[in-house]
C-alpha cells in the first residue's frame, strides 16, 4: 500500500514540485517581506518550471499508467501539456515582471497565483475522473479571477474579475449538473468506466445523454471561450492587466483543450480497429462542428469593428479556438496532432503579440489602435516582431501559424465530407487578415500625435525576439515539432 502511494507520488512529481515551490515562495515571502519588489518570484517560477520540465522528462520512460485510483493518468498526452504549461508559465511571468501593469510591490503575489494556476492546469490535462476534472477547472478558474482583478485600484480590472467570476460560476454550475446527470446515467464518473458502460449499452444517443453532454461541453466552452460562452472574453481581456491576458489567452485555453480532447476521446469513444476510434455518441461531432463554425465566425466578424487592440486580440483568440475545434471534428490522429501543433505555435505568437501590446500600453497608457500610431518606427525590432506575430496569426507562409493552419486544413481535407468546413475555415482566415492589418497599419502607416515615444528595453527585446524565432523557425522547418507531437500521441 505504502509503496503504491510512493509510486503514485512519483508519477505526480511535476505537480508535487509546483506545490513545493509554491510553499517555499510563501514562506520566503513571509520571512523576507522586503523581497516583494524583487525578482524572487520570477526566480522561483523559473526554477519550478525547470524542475518540472526535468522531472517530466525523467518520467518519459514510464509506460501509460492510471494512478490515484484512476483519478489521474500518466501518459504522453499529459506530458505534452505539462511541457507546454511549464514553458508558457515561465514566459508569461517574464512578461509580467517586465510590465508596469503588474505593481512592482505585488510581484511575489503574482508568482504565487500563477503557480497555483499552473498546478490546476496540469491537473486538467491529466485527470481521468469527472470530479477531479471539475476540481482542476475550479482551481484554475478561481485563481484566474484573482489574476484578472490584479490591478486592485483599477475599476476596469475589477469589472473584468467580476465578469469572469459570474460567468465562471454560471458555466461551472451547468457543467456540474451535467456531470451529475452522467453519473446518474452510467453509474460512474471515471472515464474508462463511463466509456465501457456507454459501449455496452445501446441507448447511446438517448436524449438525457445528449443533454448531459451539452451541459458538460458548456463548461469546456467557457474555459476555451468558444461560442456561446465567449462573452466574457473581450471584457475580461480589455480590463485585466495585459501580461495576465497574455497568459489567459494561451495557457488555460490549452488546458481547456487538453481536458476537452481527453473527455471526447476517452469517454465518448472506444478504440476501434486499425488504430482509429469509434465514436460512441455520434451527435457530438455535429455539435462540435456547429461550435467550431459559430466560434470562428463570431470571433472573426466581431473583431472587425473593434478599436481596442486587446479586444481585437480577444476576438482573435476566440477565432483561433474555432480553428482548433475544426481539428476535433475530424476525429482522427491527424486532426489531433494538428491541434497540438497549433497550440504550441499559437502559444509563441500570441504571447509575443501581447508582449508588444503590453509594451505600448506601458508607455502610452492605453491600447487603442490610435495609441499604436507610428510605434513601428520607434521600436524597429519589436515592431518587426509584431509584424511577424500578426502575419503568423493570420496564417501566412514563412511563419508557424501557416503550418498550423496547413496541418489543420490538411486534416479536414483528408476527412471525407468535411471540405465544406475547411472552406469556411479558410474564408475566415481571410477575414482575420483585415483586423490584424489594422494593428500593423496603425504601427507603420499612421503617424501619431502622441508625444510619448514607445521604446523597448533590452530585456523586452530579447524576450520578444526569443518568441519570434520559433514563430519563424517552425514555419520553415517543423519536422521536429511534428515528431514530438506524434510521439506524445502514441498510445492515446
Partner 1 sequence: MLSLMTFIPLVGMVIVFAIPRTQTTLIRWVSVLATFLPLLIGIKLYMDFDRTTSAMQFVERVPWISQFNIEYYVGIDGLSFPMILLTVLLSFLCIFASWGIDKGVKAYHAMFLFLEVGMLGVFSALDFFLFFVFWEVMLLPMYFLIGIWGGKNKVYAAIKFFLYTLFGSVLMLLVMLAMYFYSEPHTFDLLTLANLHPFSGKLIELFGYQLPLDKLFWVGLFIGFAIKVPIWPFHTWLPWAHVEAPTAVSVILAGVLLKMGTYGILRMNFPILPEATLWAANAMMILGVINILYGAFCALAQTDLKKLVAYSSVSHMGYVLLGMASLTTAGMNGAVLQMFNHGTSTAMLFLMVGILYERAHHRWITKPDGSRGFGGIASVVPFYTAIMGIAVFASLGLPGLSGFISEALVFLGAFSKPEYQTYVVIGALGIVLGAAYLLWMFMRVFLGPLNEEYQSLADMNLREKLYMAPLCFIVIYLGIFPMPVLDLMGASLAKLLSIFP
Nearest to 405 by CA among 311, 294, 327, 301: 327
User: What's the min distance (Å) between Cβ of 303 and partner 1?
Assistant: 14
C-alpha neighbours within 13 Å on the C-beta side of residue 461: 12
* Pairwise CA distance, residues 398 & 61, whole Å: 35
**Which CB sits closer to partner 1, 246 or 393?**
393
Binding site for partner 1 (CB under 8 A): 377, 387, 391, 394, 396-398, 402, 405-406, 409-410, 413-414, 416-417, 419-420, 422-423, 426-427, 429-430, 433-434, 437, 441, 444-445, 477-479, 482
Q: How far is the CB of 278 from partner 1 (least distance, A)?
A: 22
Continuous segment of H or E residues that includes residue 29: helix 13-31
CB of 131 or CB of 461, closer to partner 1: 461
Q: How far is the CB of 410 from partner 1 (least distance, A)?
A: 5
Instruction: Answer for the pair 253, 123: CB distance below 8 angstroms, yes or no.
Output: no
Q: Which 3 state secondary structure label does DSSP give 270?
A: strand
As a whole number of angstroms, the distance between CA 8 and CA 276 comes to 30
Q: DSSP assignment, residue 454?
A: P
All three cell numbers of 291: 461550435
Q: Give whole-number Cα distances, 79 to 153, 287, 331, 470, 490, in Å.
A: 39, 28, 21, 21, 12
For residue 284, give the nearest of 338, 204, 222, 224 by alpha carbon: 204
- Residue 119 to residues 81, 189, 292, 377: CA-CA distances in angstroms? 12, 22, 28, 41
Least separation in angstroms between CB 406 and partner 1: 7
32/445 with CB nearer partner 1 = 445
Instruction: Find the shortest distance in angstroms from Cβ 464 to partner 1.
Output: 17
User: Coil, strand, or helix at residue 204?
Assistant: coil
Nearer residue to partner 1 within complex by CB, 305 or 477: 477
DSSP 240: S
- Considering the complex, state which of residue 172 and residue 429 has its C-beta at the smaller distance from partner 1: 429
> What is the Cα–Cα distance from 5 to 186, expressed in whole angstroms?
29
DSSP 37: G
Q: Could you give the 3-state DSSP secondary structure of residue 363?
A: helix
List, in sequence order, every residue forming a beta bridge with 278; answer none if it has no partner.
270
Q: How far is the CB of 472 from partner 1 (least distance, A)?
A: 12
Q: How far is the CB of 216 from partner 1 (least distance, A)?
A: 30
Closer residue to partner 1 (CB): 214 or 426: 426
Residue 206 or 483: the one with the smaller Cβ distance to partner 1 is 483
Give the nearer residue to partner 1 in terms of CB position, either 196 or 334: 334
Cell of 379: 521600436
Phi and psi torsions of 373, nearest 5°: -55, 125
Rounded to a whole number of angstroms, the minimum distance from the CB of residue 399 to partner 1 is 10
Residue 279 three-state SS: strand
The closest of 330, 319, 350 to 434, measured between CA atoms, is 319
Q: How far is the CB of 402 from partner 1 (least distance, A)?
A: 8
Residue 369 beta carbon to partner 1: minimum distance, rounded to whole angstroms: 12
Cβ-based nearer residue to partner 1, 305 or 420: 420
Residue placing its CB nearer to partner 1 in the complex, 247 or 402: 402
Instruction: Please report how close the Cβ of residue 251 comes to partner 1 at its closest, in angstroms.
Output: 27
What are the counts of helices (DSSP H) followed by strands (DSSP E) for the chain? 21, 4
Taking Cα atoms as reference points, which of 233, 220, 474 lies closest to residue 328? 220
**Least spacing, CB of residue 400 vs partner 1, in Å:** 13
Residue 279, phi then psi, degrees to nearest 5: -80, 130
Which of 235, 236, 464, 233 has its CA nearest to residue 355? 464
Kindly tell me which of 24 and 427 has the beta carbon lying closer to partner 1: 427
286 Cβ contact list (under 8 Å, min separation 6): none
Nearer to partner 1 (CB atom), residue 233 or residue 394: 394
Nearest distance from residue 426's CB to partner 1, in Å? 4
Residue 275 cell numbers, joined:
488504430
- Joined grid coordinates for residue 142: 478561481
For partner 1, give the closer residue by CB, 301 or 406: 406
Amino acid at each position: 500500500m505504502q509503496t503504491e502511494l510512493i509510486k503514485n507520488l512519483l508519477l505526480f512529481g511535476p505537480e508535487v514540485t509546483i506545490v513545493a515551490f509554491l510553499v517555499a515562495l510563501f514562506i520566503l515571502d513571509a520571512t523576507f517581506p522586503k523581497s516583494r519588489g524583487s525578482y524572487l518570484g520570477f526566480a522561483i517560477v523559473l526554477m519550478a518550471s525547470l524542475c518540472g520540465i526535468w522531472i517530466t522528462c525523467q518520467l518519459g520512460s514510464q509506460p501509460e499508467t492510471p494512478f490515484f485510483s484512476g483519478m489521474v493518468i500518466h501518459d504522453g498526452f499529459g506530458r505534452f501539456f505539462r511541457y507546454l504549461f511549464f514553458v508558457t508559465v515561465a514566459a508569461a511571468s517574464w512578461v509580467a515582471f517586465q510590465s508596469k501593469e503588474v505593481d512592482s510591490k505585488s510581484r511575489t503575489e503574482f508568482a504565487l497565483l500563477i503557480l497555483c494556476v499552473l498546478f490546476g492546469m496540469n491537473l486538467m490535462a491529466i485527470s481521468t475522473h469527472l470530479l477531479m476534472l471539475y476540481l482542476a477547472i475550479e482551481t484554475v478558474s478561481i485563481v484566474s479571477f484573482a489574476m484578472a482583478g490584479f490591478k486592485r485600484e483599477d475599476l476596469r480590472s475589477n469589472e473584468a474579475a467580476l465578469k469572469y467570476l459570474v460567468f465562471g460560476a454560471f458555466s461551472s454550475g451547468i457543467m456540474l449538473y451535467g456531470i451529475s446527470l452522467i453519473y446518474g446515467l452510467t453509474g460512474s464518473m471515471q472515464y474508462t468506466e463511463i466509456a465501457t458502460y456507454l459501449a455496452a449499452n445501446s441507448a447511446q444517443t438517448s436524449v438525457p445523454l445528449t443533454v448531459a453532454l451539452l451541459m458538460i461541453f458548456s463548461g469546456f466552452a467557457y474555459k476555451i471561450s468558444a461560442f456561446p460562452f465567449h462573452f466574457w472574453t473581450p471584457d475580461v481581456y480589455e480590463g485585466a492587466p495585459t501580461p495576465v491576458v497574455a497568459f489567459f489567452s494561451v495557457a488555460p485555453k490549452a488546458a481547456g483543450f487538453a481536458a476537452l480532447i481527453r473527455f471526447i476521446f476517452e469517454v465518448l469513444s472506444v478504440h476501434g480497429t486499425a488504430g482509429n476510434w469509434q465514436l460512441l455518441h455520434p451527435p457530438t461531432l455535429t455539435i462540435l462542428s456547429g461550435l467550431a463554425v459559430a466560434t470562428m465566425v463570431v470571433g472573426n466578424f466581431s473583431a472587425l469593428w473593434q478599436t481596442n487592440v486587446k479586444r481585437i486580440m480577444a476576438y482573435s483568440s476566440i477565432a483561433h479556438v474555432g480553428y482548433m475545434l475544426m481539428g476535433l471534428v475530424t476525429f482522427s490522429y491527424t486532426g489531433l496532432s494538428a491541434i497540438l501543433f497549433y497550440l504550441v505555435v499559437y502559444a509563441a505568437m500570441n504571447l509575443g503579440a501581447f508582449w508588444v501590446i503590453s509594451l505600448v500600453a506601458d508607455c502610452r497608457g492605453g491600447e487603442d489602435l490610435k495609441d499604436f500610431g507610428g510605434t513601428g518606427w520607434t521600436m524597429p525590432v519589436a515592431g518587426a516582431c509584431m509584424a511577424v506575430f500578426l502575419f503568423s496569426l493570420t496564417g501566412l507562409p514563412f511563419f508557424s501559424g501557416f503550418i498550423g493552419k496547413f496541418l489543420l486544413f490538411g486534416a479536414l481535407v483528408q476527412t471525407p465530407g468535411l471540405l465544406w468546413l475547411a472552406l469556411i475555415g479558410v474564408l475566415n482566415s481571410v477575414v482575420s487578415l483585415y483586423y490584424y492589418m489594422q494593428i500593423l497599419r496603425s504601427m507603420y502607416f499612421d503617424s501619431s500625435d502622441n508625444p510619448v515615444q514607445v521604446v523597448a528595453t533590452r530585456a523586452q527585446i530579447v524576450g520578444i525576439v526569443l518568441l519570434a524565432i520559433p514563430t519563424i523557425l517552425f514555419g520553415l522547418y517543423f519536422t521536429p515539432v511534428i515528431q514530438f507531437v506524434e510521439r506524445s500521441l502514441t498510445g492515446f
